[in-house]
Structure 1
Amino acid sequence: MDSIIKKKIIKFDSSNIQEKEDLLSTERALAIFIQYADEIEPQQLSITMRTPGEDKALVLGFLYNEGIISQSKDVLKVNAVSPDEMVVLLSKFKPKDTVETDRNFVSSASCGVCGKSSIEDAMKVNFTPIKNDDIRIDSKIINNLFNKLGNSQSDFTKTGGIHAVGLFDLEGHLLETSEDIGRHNALDKMIGHAFINNTLPLSNNIVLLSGRIGYELVQKSLMAGVPILVAIGAPTSLSYDTSKKFNQTLIGFLKQSSFNIYCGEKRIGY
């Protein structure tokens, strides 16, 4: 299924009106089902609005960030039973304290924690503080990330309607770009690829977000062990508090010649 579709539009430009074709980012629902080893049939876990493509990585990244899987042996098989339905067969038994309604909800493209059954669920943490304090990155490397991500966004240049996440090494080399209409989906896709490639945790990497930094993005990045999280936009108060609490370096308002360090400044060389 294509991530971009063509639609006819009316373009208005001052006194000039014309009919033309425009490119739009595809948005479709993806139903995620999981089946534990002691279950007879799969159970629907979530429906998320996403850009088609990289669905396996999206689902595995989502399950990893939810703490449902933690290593490759937890997953027996991932089946695409239709273009918009994914079933994950697990090797583990269903935890006794699992609440059926915890994640049975529709997630919009802009929200990664919508539908949680309680505030406690939304604030639940399963990660440990970032420990690698010996990392030190030159500020020029951080500034150069801006153009590298922008140049790699193939769908954004065509539609202008999609988010991106870039995975970099500590020398600023771009390793991977994931795109989706949902910023949380783009991060799930990137982490899902790392899960598939057995490269988690991402303890020697920098992650760059194309938009703002909300709490759910900090939460997912900490689950993956990311020491330095950077964004083109601003962090929220809760994302700042969470990054600081767990010893993560948080950078926002990245431009070609400037950025703001909100916490974890010891990892950045001036």
Structure 2
Amino acid sequence: MGRITRNFAVTRVSVGADGRYFTDTRADTVAVEEPLELKVNNTTLTTTMRTPGDDIELIHGFLHGEGLISSRVDVAEARYCAGTDEQGQNTYNLLEVDLAEGVKAPGPEFIRSVTTTSACGVCGSTSIEQIMDKQAHPIEPVELDPQVVISLPEKLREGQKAFKRTGGIHAAGAFTLDGEPVVIREDIGRHNAADKVIGALLLQDRLPARDLILVMSSRASFELVQKAAMAGFPALVAVSAASSLAVELAREAGMALTGFTRGERFNLYSGALKPVKQLSESACPPAHLDV
């Protein structure tokens, strides 16, 4: 299996207020980005740029997000094939998938002639109507607990082992409605990280994810909301901003969506919150202040 990080010699530059600068050369750890070619029923479907690791989960999540499979039994076999480097070592950058008998093979409309970058998700789906038509798991709306929401980014960060070493890799995580981690995955591409989480849940027969929250270390794009909706997540929590189309899709799908979830604050773009807890009769009343 390929490495997820590599070390490079870098020169760190510190610039002073007077314009003078100082340099220091040392080793730095960066996240690996390599292509993964996906073949389905002997036909190349796409090539995506990803961080090696959890590739089987990645392709299951990807195929689920495309609406090509709905459960793990839809895949008869997934295997690495011969893809070698200059030294003749397997690069693990080619995966072949055989769909189960009776599962419809992807048509020409699914085949992408260009490489999917680590910043791109399911770019072929461009309308909310298309997503709603393909959605296999209708979302059951939930009320979010604000205390749980603000705790999720830090809990996600605690599971980001590669981020601690590189500072340059995205993460996605599935958490219970009470904030307990179920699956956390990392990747150079935020969409790949989401696919790895969804693929892991699919392989565990945990889709639809009606009792889970998808948490992203990135912004909430249309493609990420699409993947969450297809998997049946009732909520998506993002550390950064949400796009306009992401908000529209979340509202149409009945999904709770938060953005800028940092510290003690977040923006609620879609969905509802749990009612504020009321003081019990035995609780001390608020003090009266004479002004």
TM-score (normalizing by structure 2): 0.83
**Counterpart residue identity of residue 200, structure 1:** L
**Counterpart residue identity of residue 28, structure 2:** D
Distance in structure 1 (CA, Å) of the matches to 2:106 and 2:119 = 29
* CA RMSD across the alignment: 2.0
SS in 2 for 1:179: strand
Whether 2:138 is the aligned partner of 1:137: answer no
SS in 1 for 2:130: coil
**Counterpart of 2:234?**
227
The 1:193/1:96 distance shift into structure 2, 3 A limit, reads closer
SS in 2 for 1:52: coil
102-111 or 88-97, which deviates more: 88-97
The 1:94/1:143 distance shift into structure 2, 3 A limit, reads closer
Q: 1:148 aligns with which of 148, 155, 167?
A: 155
**Counterpart of 1:38?**
none
- Contact kept in structure 2, 1:44 and 1:104, CA below 8 Å: no
Deviations, residues 86-111 of structure 1 (Å, cap 9, x unaligned): 00111135748822564343100101
Distance in structure 2 (CA, Å) of the matches to 1:93 and 1:104 = 26
**Counterpart of 2:74?**
74
Whether 2:32 is the aligned partner of 1:26: answer yes
* Superposition deviation, residue 21 in structure 1: 0.7
**Counterpart of 2:175?**
168
The 1:208/1:100 distance shift into structure 2, 3 A limit, reads closer
Aligned residue runs from structure 1 range 206-245, under 5 A: 206-245=213-252
Deviations, residues 42-90 of structure 1 (Å, cap 9, x unaligned): 1100000000000000011101111111122211111111410000111
Structure 2: tracts of 5 or more residues without a match: 16-20, 83-91, 277-291
Distance in structure 1 (CA, Å) of the matches to 2:136 and 2:110 = 26
Identical aligned residues as a percent: 33
* Superposition deviation, residue 138 in structure 1: 2.1
The 1:100/1:240 distance shift into structure 2, 3 A limit, reads closer
Distance in structure 2 (CA, Å) of the matches to 1:68 and 1:7 = 40
Tell me which structure has the larger Cα radius of gyration: 2
Distance in structure 2 (CA, Å) of the matches to 1:206 and 1:97 = 29
User: When the two structures are aligned, how many residues end up with a matched partner?
Assistant: 259
Deviations, residues 223-254 of structure 1 (Å, cap 9, x unaligned): 00000111001110000000001111011110
